[in-house]
A and B are shown apart, each in its own frame.
Chain A
Amino acid sequence: MQNLLKTDEETMLTDSARGFLDQAAPVSEFRKLRDSGTSYDPALWRQMAELGWAGILVPEANGGADMGHAAAGLLAGEMGKTLVASPFLSTAVMAATALRQVSGSRAGEALTAIAKGELTYALAIDESAKHDPVKARLAAHKVGNGYQLNGEKTFVVDGGFADRVLVLARTGEGETALTLFDLPADHDGIARTSKAMVDARDAAQLSFENVAATGEDILGTLDDAMTVLGPALQAGQAALAAEMAGLATGAFDMTVGYLKERQQFGVTIGAFQALQHRAAHLWSEIEVTASAITHAGRMLDQDPDNATLAVSLAKARATQTAKLAVIEGVQMHGGIGMTDAFDMGFYMKRARVAAEWLGDYSYHAEQVAQCRGF
């Protein structure tokens, strides 16, 4: 029977992650990055790799910790609480999951490098303002013994700095004739333009002009991208949902702390029932979402072929809960919540980016609809 409580091992992982991040990456560190125009801290990522986080989903044979998706979600949640910016989701969760779906020494070497924190990846999937992988139109035409890629990718998270990029391309006429290419990001013909994202993290526009690829560059098999990409996206969606749930908790803790200290009308504002009930409702929503997050991690670990409902449920709930937490966070802080000097705005902006990345509420609600007979 699936159990939704943390195991002792998971509690230890969470506690040690919190301890490390409180010291190495509090929100003030993120503020420094933002102020300096840097999207992440490579030194911090090396430390995370030393702790085994970069290899959390890498097999032990490749030097990874191989702890599974529930554990990856716990780490993502702790990072979310203090807005830690890192290549964790794109590289350690999604690229590692994609690479694990294939055999061969090339994938094995990439996994080893990921676990060491020496290789970063970005996923180039989206082509319009809404996530919808099966609609990808970037073309990979057969030319001689290889392929030539032409088209545009948008919202490529970590695309500005990643060493390599997984590119979803159309290789045939059929709806599902999609292929995943694994290319160096500085490959001839790929132009990267970093976007000024509201959350101050990395995302790029990638243009492909006559980019030459070979059959060796295909991750998985021709015209069958989803066998490799599907599990990677689900892993990313579950971990991103966990990050958002952590973000909601971080914003909520700040807010309740403020309700206990701010004085108005001669009393602590947390004594007002109007605010108490808003806070209690928000806590309830966070608790309910936490169950969906754990469930998604358990399903990915135990029954990945049937995890679609669990993953989309988690992302849908986390999107709504994070949104509520940051809106209430600003409202209950009052004017100070609107200032740049205060951290709540960072939570709000990250929640909005995370809401769109890897499928928004509507996208995941539609997945739930398919699974539940709507």
Chain B
Amino acid sequence: MQEPVTFRAELQSWLAENCPAEMRDGRTDDETICWGGKGWEFTSEAQKLWLDRMAAKGLTTPTWPVDCGGAGLNRGQEKILLEELAAINARPPLLSFGIWMLGPALLRFGSEEQKQTYLPPITRGEVRWCQGYSEPGAGSDLASVQTKAEDMGDHYLINGQKIWTSYADKADWIFALVRTDKDAPKHKGISFILIDMSSAGVSTRPIRLISGASVFCETFFDNVKVPKENVVGEVNKGWDIAKYLLTHEREMISGGAQGLLGGRALGAVLADGADDAAPMDAVLRAEALACEIDGLAVALTLERYKDQAEAGQGVGHASAMLKYTGTELNKRRHELLMSAGGSDALDWEGVHGSLPADWLRTKANSIEGGTSEVMLSIISRRVLGLPG
């Protein structure tokens, strides 16, 4: 393995040459970052160049194996990469559910052929994925999914409905939980399947949210034919993959709590909007300070659990704690930012940019991927061993 010092030095000079100036504005919001996919329209030549150059080095998915389109970095190297990207204020070259969710699932449960087929296009931003988990009747009780996949001999026939499918209207493919055995106990009749969104019978309808955005959709499956080789892992064992990904998703969502303010101190962010002549309101300052203290400790806890995962010890049910603390903190932070902004922050198009929409968006953090209450119940039963 390359020496950290050499690795950093080489990375610095490569980034200096290859990160376009326009991509160094430090923006990380959903609207600005490239999500890739067949229908993606690059907002600038620089956005395309930045994606292509990073993808060619495997750096859109730095820790994935090289033969799957990654760069094969260890966590120490990944940390250096993230530090160097932050140092030049670089935007992430690519965001996607393929990177966050499907990739880790395939790397762990997928066949060699599935890895080779699906992973490289994700790393290059060519195929955009969405996640089909929740249904109108299966929210917190996810294992109650009813969307059914009938075995038709050479293919499955899918019928049903998904909800809260993020960006389903923009995705090329969906990874979904479907019921392949309606007679088995509910956790044991579920399979994890990959469906081409351009298949006949798939349709989507965006849901308008309190933030005004429509990132979530309803997704309908009406006699959709799916090849049998699209099942990941064993048939009827999809819940194992779902659980693994939920754990992973919880870590991702809790990790977002640090990233949302670009790692900046809350004090500095609040000071941006403050009137130089007047000191920050004492009550607000005290609340923000308490939030900052908790935020720093939560960030350290994420680091500690990443160290633990890296050491091969796994994170287990503690991911429920990371998700719970991270998302509740993020809601608290955004309430404080809104308070600090006062009436200026009430304007959809005002000086605080996307803050009003971001504030509303954070309210979903403690619902999606398992509610805070579900997290507390998981901790209670699985970690503390209380009866349940």
Contact yes or no, A259 B296, CB < 8 A: no
Contact yes or no, B268 A373, CB < 8 A: yes
**B318 cross-chain contacts in A, Cβ below 8 A:** 287
**A256 cross-chain contacts in B, Cβ below 8 A:** 384-386
**A291 cross-chain contacts in B, Cβ below 8 A:** 297, 300-301, 303-304
With A268-B387, A372-B265, A372-B266 as known contacts, state yes or no: A279 contacts B380, CB within 8 Å: yes
Segment with Cβ contacts to A, from B101-109, B146-154, B231-239, B287-295 = B287-295
B364-388 Cβ-contact flags toward A at 8 Å (1 or 0): 0000000001011101110111111
Q: What is the CA–CA distance of A5 and B306 in the complex, to the nearest angstrom? A: 10
With A4-B307, A368-B292 as known contacts, state yes or no: A279 contacts B285, CB within 8 Å: no
**B301 cross-chain contacts in A, Cβ below 8 A:** 287-288, 290-291
Q: Is the interface of B mostly helix, strand, loop or mixed?
A: helix
Contact yes or no, A277 B373, CB < 8 A: yes
A183-204 Cβ-contact flags toward B at 8 Å (1 or 0): 0000000000000000000000
Contact yes or no, A283 B383, CB < 8 A: yes
- A to B contact number (C-beta, < 8 Å): 118
**A4 cross-chain contacts in B, Cβ below 8 A:** 300, 303-304, 307
A24-57 Cβ-contact flags toward B at 8 Å (1 or 0): 0000000000000000000000000000000000
With A4-B304, A368-B289 as known contacts, state yes or no: A283 contacts B296, CB within 8 Å: no
B226 nearest CB across to chain A (Å) = 39
Interface residues in B245-283 by Cβ distance below 8 A to A read 265-268, 270-271, 280
With A365-B289, A372-B268, A374-B288 as known contacts, state yes or no: A5 contacts B308, CB within 8 Å: yes
Interface residues in A355-374 by Cβ distance below 8 A to B read 365, 368-369, 372-374
With A4-B307, A313-B293, A368-B289 as known contacts, state yes or no: A279 contacts B267, CB within 8 Å: no
Is A316 part of the binding interface, using a Cβ–Cβ cutoff of 8 Å?
Answer: yes
Contact yes or no, A373 B379, CB < 8 A: no
Is B64 part of the binding interface, using a Cβ–Cβ cutoff of 8 Å?
Answer: no
**B324 cross-chain contacts in A, Cβ below 8 A:** 284
Task: Name B294's contact: one of A290, A295, A317 (CB within 8 Å).
Answer: A317
Is A171 part of the binding interface, using a Cβ–Cβ cutoff of 8 Å?
Answer: no
In the complex, how many residues of chain B place their beta carbon closer than 8 angstroms to a beta carbon of chain A? 44
Contact yes or no, B376 A369, CB < 8 A: no
Contact yes or no, A288 B268, CB < 8 A: no
Contact yes or no, A365 B290, CB < 8 A: yes
**A280 cross-chain contacts in B, Cβ below 8 A:** 375-377, 379-380, 383-384
**A316 cross-chain contacts in B, Cβ below 8 A:** 293
Interface residues in B333-388 by Cβ distance below 8 A to A read 373, 375-377, 379-381, 383-388
B103 nearest CB across to chain A (Å) = 24
Q: What is the CA–CA distance of A256 and B376 in the complex, to the nearest angstrom? A: 14
Q: What is the CA–CA distance of A316 and B379 in the complex, to the nearest angstrom? A: 25
Is A142 part of the binding interface, using a Cβ–Cβ cutoff of 8 Å?
Answer: no
**B290 cross-chain contacts in A, Cβ below 8 A:** 365
Nearest A residue (CB) for B293: A316
Q: What is the CA–CA distance of A270 and B266 in the complex, to the nearest angstrom? A: 38
Is A219 part of the binding interface, using a Cβ–Cβ cutoff of 8 Å?
Answer: no
Contact yes or no, B325 A288, CB < 8 A: yes
Interface residues in B311-338 by Cβ distance below 8 A to A read 311, 318, 321, 324-325
**A317 cross-chain contacts in B, Cβ below 8 A:** 293-294, 297
Is A3 part of the binding interface, using a Cβ–Cβ cutoff of 8 Å?
Answer: yes
Task: Name B267's contact: one of A259, A281, A374 (CB within 8 Å).
Answer: A374
B295 nearest CB across to chain A (Å) = 10
Interface residues in A284-322 by Cβ distance below 8 A to B read 284, 287-292, 294-295, 309, 313, 316-317
25 contacts between A and B (CB under 8 A): A1-B76, A1-B79, A5-B311, A270-B386, A270-B387, A271-B387, A276-B376, A276-B377, A276-B380, A281-B376, A287-B301, A288-B294, A288-B300, A289-B297, A290-B301, A295-B300, A313-B293, A317-B293, A368-B289, A369-B267, A372-B292, A374-B265, A374-B267, A374-B288, A374-B292
Known A-B contacts: A4-B300, A271-B387, A369-B289. Give 14 more (CB < 8 A).
A1-B79, A5-B307, A260-B386, A268-B387, A281-B376, A283-B384, A288-B297, A292-B297, A313-B293, A316-B293, A365-B293, A373-B271, A374-B267, A374-B271
Give 5 nearest A-B pairs by CB, closest first.
Answer: A374-B267, A276-B380, A280-B379, A4-B304, A291-B300
Which residues of A does B touch, CB under 8 Å?
1, 3-5, 256, 259-260, 268, 270-271, 273, 276-277, 279-281, 283-284, 287-292, 294-295, 309, 313, 316-317, 365, 368-369, 372-374
